[in-house]
Chain A
Amino acid sequence: MYLVANINVEICASKSCKLCTQYCPEANTIQYSETMGTDRGFKYGTAYIAVDRCKGCALCVWVCDTMAKNNAIKMIMIDQLPLAAVTDNIRYEEKTTVAVLSNPMTVIGN
């Protein structure tokens, strides 16, 4: 098992600084969705992780804690994630993305 980043939607969707999306060294790994936040009644959209691309460096954790001071990202074992986004289930729309969340162990295991 290995660690991947996990974003707390409640905190992220109330701030929406988007800094983590700009600092992740991996392309299309920290994504941003308008609907994942607003559909749950929050003010903004939220960032989320495509866990199959996350290399577990935790650079985003430093950015969120120290630069943005939001403390919204934690590293978590991939098999402890309840539901998560993987690349195959992410759809691109105009200025946002939409992800269907699923059990990452099942999807990546395939």
Chain B
Amino acid sequence: MSLDYVKFSGGFDKFMPKEYRDMVEHGPFGKKISVSQMGSFKEILEEHPMCAGCAMTLFIRLAIIAFPNPEDTITVGTAGCGRLAISQAAIPFVYGNYGDQNGVASGLTRGLRLRFGDKPKDVVVMAGDGGTADIGFQQVLHSWFRKERFTTIMLDNEVYGNTGGQESGMTNRGAVLKMAPLGKKFEKMDMLQMAKVAGCAYVATVVPNNPRRVESVIKKAVLIAREVGSTYIQAYTSCNIEYAIPTDKVMEDAKTVENDRYQFTEYVSDEAKQYLTERYGYKDYLPKAAAPAAAISNKA
């Protein structure tokens, strides 16, 4: 949980694998990097067993690059496809029982604050739609009502992809899946609205076909969670296996879905806006200058 933990003990570097040496010497730890530099530095994420062309993998890759302080970050996950990649990153990963990720993250965040005080230690939950909206729903919502200071990211592939294609609360009404052959009978859950009602300081939807936006959204969510309160990001990360999307059409599908039901939305509470502006110099949330009186009168 600091820059020290990635460094080599004296004399041991020559025995470490090349990938590990590259990461220590040319990785993002202790540096400011962005998605525009991808391909030029050693990433924290390593090889993993997720399917070829998986949009969730791309999102996780971008998310890990976007962490403001990867050396001071812990990820928490639960059963589902995502943990297969998240656990292959050089960031401590806590894998709880199914659905308890927000409960685990609550205790972890509080413990880190007791141990490290004001020094930022970021906790980021990344779980699927089943772990967040179905099986972990109670713990997710209560952590938000308690204003626990960590980020929850839902990797929404709109299906239980890891277990053969059962419908989840986030599956769209009418969707026919291998284990839901008659089609889903109920609406997709509105987790965004629930996050706002529960008092999240930052709520956003995002699709991985815009890497810069993914980076921006995750940075803001993690920074706000340090001091203001819970933050929630809902990311569309299609399952190309269960929805039979050819791998070379995954981004085309993401674009279609973004234009349809996953348009970019962002809610930032007033307190969070003030925090981002004053603490981290964000200019987007500064009050807009009033239009000159002459211009108004001319229009009238």
Contact = CB atoms under 8 A, between A and B. Distances in A.
Interface in A65-100: 66-67, 87-88, 92-93, 95-97
A76 B249 CA distance: 18
Contact of B58 (A23, A28, A32, A93): A23
Contacts of B18: 87-88
B249 A62 contact: yes
B248 A26 contact: no
A58 B251 CA distance: 11
Contacts of A31: 39-40
Nearest to A57: B53
Nearest to B44: A27
Nearest to A47: B39
Contacts of A56: 52
Interface string A13-25: 0000010011111
Contacts of A59: 53, 58, 247-248, 250-251
A55 B57 CA distance: 12
Interface residues of B, number: 35
Q: Which of B35, B39, B43, B251 has the most CB of A within 10 A?
A: B39
B61 interface: yes
Interface in B32-64: 35-47, 50, 52-55, 57-58, 61-62
A87 B251 CA distance: 26
A58 B39 contact: no
A16 B180 CA distance: 45
Nearest to B240: A57
Interface residues of A, number: 31
B39 A57 contact: no
A24 B58 contact: yes
Contacts of B25: 92
A61 B46 CA distance: 22
B211 interface: yes
Contacts of A58: 53, 247-248
Contact of A21 (B19, B39, B42, B54): B39
The SS class assigned to the A binding surface is mixed
Contacts of B53: 25, 55, 57-59
A62 to B, nearest CB: 5
Nearest to B212: A22
Contacts of A55: 52-53
Nearest to B59: A25
A58 B248 CA distance: 5
Given A26-B47, A28-B43, A57 B52 contact: yes
A63 interface: yes
A88 B26 CA distance: 15
A26 B57 contact: yes
Contacts of A97: 39-40
B61 A27 contact: yes
B13 interface: no
A97 B25 CA distance: 13
Interface string A21-49: 11111111011100000000000000100
A73 to B, nearest CB: 11
Contacts of A66: 252
A87 B17 CA distance: 12
B58 A25 contact: yes
Interface of B: 18-19, 22, 25-26, 35-47, 50, 52-55, 57-58, 61-62, 209, 211, 247-252
